Structure 1
């Protein structure tokens, strides 16, 4: 890895300096090349400028060259300017060729047979669908977490449900815009297990900064186990508290926006909650998925993420506690 001296500073963080896939590595190499060339040119220009200033100030009785006609000086200046111009053209061509090569290399994986995952951008969360083998009964829907097998080629088939968003996981690939009414494909591959943060990279409204997602790379065995677990409907609650919590969910506003498979809740305005408790975060990366955070989010999401479509849900504390007990069973 070219940025080996920097990458350890960003373990698991959202940064192009710690690539975990072939496309991100190509982008990192191109970044290093362009950064190195421009840095060297900058240093040379500043050094020449400083030398000229010091040299001219050191000369007594200095007369600017523009007032003195000296053919020899003019000839040298012409050669220097010409050489600098030629070198500039060569360096620009090198950066252009490198950029073209990087663009081609990041698209090569699209030619391979890939796992297809549909991603839909919403204000301000990510809907994720797994139409594996195009079999409706094996469709998995989740939110803000994209699970992929390590080393597998995955095609992210993406669009927006409202305004322009941009899908960006810099450790894995470059950005891809999501436009309402248009569909874009982004082919990725993650070569090591771990969780890699992504972010909407196109300003999309008040909570744009709080529209994150995770790409979770797992071994093929772990991915298959996760997928099979996600196919199952919500389990039947065992405790009286969880049973009452399900009743609270089905008789309050929750049922108007969310789906829990295995119940009568089937709305699609908000995220599918069938396996809510298995997720590491809620509110598109705004909060960790803990009981306290979930309670605050249910009670008054607007105080946490103003402008979000989730309305306040005032209810007695006993009902809220039972609802939380039920949601904690959704694994």
Structure 2
């Protein structure tokens, strides 16, 4: 199934063993060396243990000899660990010094409790497209993620594309990566950042260059005007409930930056940083019961504020913002 269909199977890849780009391939190769090498050493150790327990005096004398202890207990670990150190440093150097082509696409990612703000500088006269919990990139082009934190320490990890990078308040770190083929993969915060750290995921959508340009063109547009009375009611509910005090909807009077930008929220794959699939029903459930679904999130539940019709209307309006 494709993105946005309500089945998250398309975006659950979150493994260093499923690389989507050259940087992740280098890390995957090192991972396989560690897995296979560690497995062989473990089996050899268990075999020697079995010989020591059940073998006769002859094998035990060999295992207890000074020569065997020096070779197996000193020389072998020194050689293996030194080789792994050299290999790891070579992979690290290769990741840090990969030749770059044209000017990379710069994307800003800001970690917040407990969601991700994503900015595309220069894509709008006012600064750039702003979205949340989803990073769109073109296949084959170098991408520079400029990451920071808006509150506490976070850490961004996209296992299928690169290693981890810290997100530090007051500092910007950079991570360069490239997707080799289209796909939708999952990323995660890997630095404990509070009560809902475990529910702070995001998706990376790697698209063909043409598909990425079409995505940009759609997201340059302001929010669509309601096309019927029910959607217009939803917009009024949004205004009356004070949602614009925290959220921006480009093309309207709402431009707050406390919570995620909702200009095209209906087109996103998930809600609440990967917690829920995104459709009208989950939008209503999220608005009504934020604190039941994600306790500690900086948004109140509106189940005692909005009645059923109001919830359905505002959910329908938000879903229409594509």
Query: TM-score, length-normalised on structure 2?
Result: 0.90
Other structure's SS at 2:126 match: helix
Does residue 77 of the first structure (1) align with residue 65 of the second (2)?
A: yes
Does residue 161 of the first structure (1) align with residue 135 of the second (2)?
A: no
The counterpart of 1:185, out of the listed 147, 152, 174, is 174
User: CA 1:119–1:252 in 2, change beyond 3 Å: closer, same or farther?
Assistant: same
Stretch moving more, 170-179 or 237-246: 237-246
Equivalents in 1 of 2:276, 2:206: separation in Å?
21
After TM superposition, list the pairs within 5 Å mapping 1:49-88 onto structure 2.
49-56=49-56, 77-84=65-72, 85-88=74-77
Larger Rg: 1
Does residue 117 of the first structure (1) align with residue 94 of the second (2)?
A: no
Offset at residue 23 of structure 1 (A) = 1.1
Other structure's SS at 1:137 match: coil
Equivalents in 2 of 1:130, 1:264: separation in Å?
21
Equivalents in 2 of 1:127, 1:167: separation in Å?
12
The counterpart of 2:219, out of the listed 230, 246, 271, is 230
The counterpart of 2:312, out of the listed 318, 321, 331, is 321
Q: Which residue is 1:4 aligned to? A: none
Q: Which runs of 5+ in 1 are unaligned?
A: 1-9, 66-72
Contact 2:148 2:173 in 1 (8 A): yes
Q: Which residue is 2:291 aligned to? A: 302
User: CA 1:103–1:136 in 2, change beyond 3 Å: closer, same or farther?
Assistant: farther
The counterpart of 1:277, out of the listed 263, 266, 282, is 266
Equivalents in 2 of 1:260, 1:220: separation in Å?
27
Contact 1:37 1:91 in 2 (8 A): no
Query: TM-score, length-normalised on structure 1?
Result: 0.87
Equivalents in 2 of 1:282, 1:288: separation in Å?
6
Offset at residue 12 of structure 1 (A) = 5.0
Q: Which residue is 1:217 aligned to? A: 206
Q: Which runs of 5+ in 2 are unaligned?
A: 1-9
Offset at residue 38 of structure 1 (A) = 2.3
Equivalents in 1 of 2:179, 2:16: separation in Å?
13
Other structure's SS at 2:19 match: coil
Residues 58-95 of structure 1: CA deviation (Å, up to 9, x unaligned): x5xx9x97xxxxxxx89x92322332222222111110
Offset at residue 253 of structure 1 (A) = 2.0
After TM superposition, list the pairs within 5 Å mapping 1:28-67 onto structure 2.
28-56=28-56
Other structure's SS at 2:320 match: coil
Offset at residue 110 of structure 1 (A) = 7.2
The counterpart of 1:292, out of the listed 271, 275, 281, is 281
User: CA 1:252–1:38 in 2, change beyond 3 Å: closer, same or farther?
Assistant: same
Other structure's SS at 2:65 match: helix
Offset at residue 111 of structure 1 (A) = 4.5
Other structure's SS at 1:120 match: strand
User: CA 1:11–1:252 in 2, change beyond 3 Å: closer, same or farther?
Assistant: closer
Other structure's SS at 2:188 match: strand
Contact 2:100 2:142 in 1 (8 A): no
* Superposed structure 1 runs of 4+ greater than 6 Å apart: none
